[in-house]
Amino acid sequence: MVASNHMASVTVTELDLSACHPNTIVDRINSMPGLKTSTAFFTFLRANLVLPHSAMSSNQPLSTLDDIPPLTLDILTTHEDKVDALKLVADSIAQQRQQASFHLITHPLFLSLLAGLLAAVYQFAWVWRDRDVGALLTLGSGVTMCYLMGIRYLTSGYIKLAEGLKWDWLLKDSGEEDLVIGTRFGDELIGALVLRLEPANASSSSPVGSNGGGVSGGSRKKSHHRNASFYRGGKGVVRAWTTKLRYRHKGVGGDMLHEAARITREKCGRDAEVGFAQEHANSEMVLPEMFNRSFRKGEMKAARALEAVLGEWDGRKR
């Protein structure tokens, strides 16, 4: 499998402060010249450390970064770890339902519909029934509830998409598995990226987010021999990229993009393209396109993040 072929060249990124002796937490962070993982992430953890009242009122030493579990980045190789990564991706699909529901609730078209229905309720209960407060509250609550239930029904397709993400989604036509990059905080898997390496002769177009183009679902040449030069001239396609909600915007996702770029450039060549698949895990939309603006903005933001990562790699070559 592809994953096993890369284990020898992958370095686990782990915070090790055992050799450091600064006095403060800030000094411990700033004293690491080669810190590869996200310093912002550990700064976030430091800012959110909650000390018990007994520690505040006694002479006990304060908590330090030694008490924080290590943040590691690695290629997942076991079946159990990959299943956990798939669950993380499925969760991100299910979470799109919340985003879509909020967009529908606040959309001018749906707000106008709700306002019209509530106006009809007011006209019936307050005007025709001579200010019947009970009828006004009952009918108004019923209309609002039906409004919310209708939106819930319209966005329920995301739950079905999440449940439909199975193991075979990781498999190529040849039966090989995609690479799965995982980020752990201690023993907890908090991030996952699914990377597919495609050889130069694969009949698909350029990936999105790197030099334009999109990845098609065309046929691929089947081969059971993956020697060192098989992927030379090929490209890397990111098929899924997600982080647990509470750990987002802390640099974890950027670290996984850097690792995906490193692996692709190592296996496919220093000028290999890296981009998001057009049909990535979160690409299928349940609602009509006019209601998907927030998702499209998210895709553009992800593409810019990847372009920034590739820009750093291109800068190192100069």
197 band by pLDDT with thresholds 50, 70 and 90: very high
Give the pLDDT confidence score for residue 64 in this predicted structure. Answer: 59
At residue 208, does pLDDT exceed 70?
no
How many CB atoms neighbour CB 300 within 10 A?
11
Q: Show me where the domains of the chain are located.
A: 17-69, 72-99+160-317
Give the pLDDT confidence score for residue 125 in this predicted structure. Answer: 81
In the numeric block, the tokens 């987010």 are attached to 209
Lowest mean pLDDT among 108-112, 210-214, 294-298: 210-214
The share of the chain scoring above pLDDT 70, in percent, equals 70
- Summarize pLDDT for 2-22 with one digit per residue, the tens: 443 443 334 344 444 344 444
126 band by pLDDT with thresholds 50, 70 and 90: confident
Q: Are 250 and 208 in contact (CB under 8 A)?
A: no
Strands in 235-243's sheet, in edge-to-edge order, are 71-75, 179-185, 188-198, 235-243, 273-276
Q: How far apart are CA 253 and CA 249, in angstroms?
A: 8
In the numeric block, the tokens 């499925």 are attached to 90
Average pLDDT value for the chain: 77
- Summarize pLDDT for 226-236 with one digit per residue, the tens: 565 788 889 99
Sequence-distant (6+) residues with CB within 8 A of 148 are 105
Give the pLDDT confidence score for residue 66 in this predicted structure. Answer: 65
Tell me the one-letter amino acid at 285: M
Residue 59 half-sphere exposure toward CB, CA atoms < 13 A: 0
At residue 65, does pLDDT exceed 80?
no
At residue 268, does pLDDT exceed 60?
yes
At residue 192, does pLDDT exceed 80?
yes
At residue 96, does pLDDT exceed 70?
yes
At residue 25, does pLDDT exceed 50?
no
Lowest mean pLDDT among 165-174, 183-192, 226-235: 226-235
Q: Please give the residue that has the higher pLDDT: either 316 or 113.
A: 113
Give the pLDDT confidence score for residue 123 in this predicted structure. Answer: 87
Residue range 173-188: average pLDDT?
92
At residue 219, does pLDDT exceed 90?
no
The C-alpha R_g of the chain, in whole angstroms, comes to: 25
Q: Are 101 and 150 in contact (CB under 8 A)?
A: no
Q: Please give the residue that has the higher pLDDT: either 61 or 4.
A: 61
Residue range 136-160: average pLDDT?
92
Give the pLDDT confidence score for residue 281 in this predicted structure. Answer: 94
Lowest mean pLDDT among 17-31, 56-70, 298-312: 17-31
Residue range 43-62: average pLDDT?
47
At residue 210, does pLDDT exceed 70?
no
- Per-residue b or e along 223-248, where b marks 16 or more CB atoms closer than 10 Å to that residue's CB: eeebeeebbeebbbbbbbbbbbeebe
Give the pLDDT confidence score for residue 301 in this predicted structure. Answer: 93
40 band by pLDDT with thresholds 50, 70 and 90: low
CATH code for the structural domain at 72-99+160-317: 3.40.630.30
Give the pLDDT confidence score for residue 283 in this predicted structure. Answer: 93
Displacement of CA 62 from its chain's centroid (Å): 34
Give the pLDDT confidence score for residue 43 in this predicted structure. Answer: 53
The share of the chain scoring above pLDDT 90, in percent, equals 50
